[in-house]
């Protein structure tokens, strides 16, 4: 972890540890407060190896404020398996919808570590997959790793490398942050869907981001887009 030089390298280090248990995805960030815009929510993401299509749906639909894992993170400091929330979701239709739709993106089994930042903000670190195993004695080890990885990535996020985008790239990234699809962005900017996808890949490369959500989060933190 100490040798990692980017948040994505931190994510890859985490995944190298948890893949043998069946976990393939990681997400971590500071929990936004109710009323925050989609862009503000995304800007709070610190580690992101989550399906982009699910992130787009999740943030654009305001699922964060219906997600039972987020509620648990803000009310408890104990790590938990998502399966432990089933009883609390039984009579909560929005929460059941969020968890059910997450399974469509191979996010059916997860483990989350609640944390607090130095200034008292709630934060969460999750690993997930369609199926995995987590022996009870691994929980403490993963909690320690989660806290260290989050702190390491948060420090990197506070000192981003400057990135320069062309005006057209900035336009594309702005509309990605608004939750628009490639086809919709193409219609708005009067370019082909293929051109939008190509520019999105160029933007990811400039930020050294593993996916679009990570690129958007970095751009928002650097105030390249608003």
pLDDT at 160: 53
DSSP 2-40: TT--SHHHHHHHHHHHHGGGT--EEEEEEPPPTT--HHH
pLDDT tens profile 130-154:
999 999 999 999 999 999 999 888 8
| 1 within a domain of the structure (yes/no) | no
Binning pLDDT at 50, 70 and 90, where does residue 86 land?
A: confident
Question: Exposed, middle or buried by CB within 10 Å (0-12, 13-18, 19+), for 7?
Answer: buried
| CATH code, domain with 190 | 1.10.10.10
Same domain, 178 and 130: no
Structure tokens at 161: 């490398």
| Torsion sign, CA atoms 147, 155, 9, 123 | positive
Checking if the pLDDT of 159 tops 60, the result is no
173: closest CA among 143, 141, 204? 204
pLDDT at 157: 59
Same domain, 201 and 122: no
- Greatest extent of the chain over all pairs of C-alpha atoms, in Å: 55
Binning pLDDT at 50, 70 and 90, where does residue 161 land?
A: low
| CATH code, domain with 92 | 3.30.450.80
pLDDT tens profile 94-120:
999 999 999 999 999 999 999 988 778
- Residues of the domain holding 204: 167-221
Cβ atoms within 10 Å, residue 138: 15
End-of-domain residue from the set 158, 177, 197? 158
| 127 within a domain of the structure (yes/no) | yes
Share of the chain above pLDDT 70, in %: 97
| 2 within a domain of the structure (yes/no) | no
Same domain, 173 and 78: no
CA dist 151 → 22, 87, 107, 124, 174 (Å): 24, 32, 24, 12, 28
Same domain, 53 and 143: yes
Please compute the mean of the pLDDT values over residues 56-63 and round it to a whole number: 88
Quote the number of domains for the chain: 2
Mean pLDDT score across all residues of the chain: 88
Same domain, 190 and 96: no
Asked if 195 contacts 188 with a C-beta cutoff of 8 angstroms, the reply is: no
pLDDT tens profile 183-218:
999 999 999 999 999 999 888 888 877 778 778 877
Cα separation of 77 and 79, whole Å? 7
């Amino acid at each position: 972890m100490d040798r990692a030089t980017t948040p994505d390298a931190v994510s890859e280090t985490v995944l190298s540890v948890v893949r043998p248990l069946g976990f393939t995805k990681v997400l971590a960030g500071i929990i936004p407060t109710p009323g925050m815009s989609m862009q503000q929510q995304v800007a709070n993401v610190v580690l992101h190896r989550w399906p982009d299509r699910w992130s787009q749906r999740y943030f654009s639909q305001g699922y964060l404020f219906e997600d039972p894992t987020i509620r648990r993170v803000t009310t408890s400091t104990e790590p938990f398996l998502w399966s432990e929330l089933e009883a609390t979701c039984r009579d909560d239709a929005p929460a059941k919808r969020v968890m059910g739709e997450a399974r469509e993106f191979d996010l059916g089994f997860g483990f989350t570590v609640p944390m607090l930042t130095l200034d008292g903000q709630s934060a969460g670190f999750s690993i997930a997959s369609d199926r995995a195993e987590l022996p009870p004695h691994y929980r403490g080890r993963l909690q320690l790793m989660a806290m260290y990885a989050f702190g390491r990535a948060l420090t990197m996020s506070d000192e981003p490398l400057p990135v320069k985008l062309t005006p057209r790239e900035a336009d594309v990234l702005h509309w990605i942050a608004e939750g628009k699809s490639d086809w919709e962005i193409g219609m708005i900017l009067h370019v082909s869907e293929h051109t939008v996808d190509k520019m999105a890949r160029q933007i990811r490369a400039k930020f050294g981001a593993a996916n679009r959500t990570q690129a958007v989060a970095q751009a928002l933190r650097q105030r390249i887009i608003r």
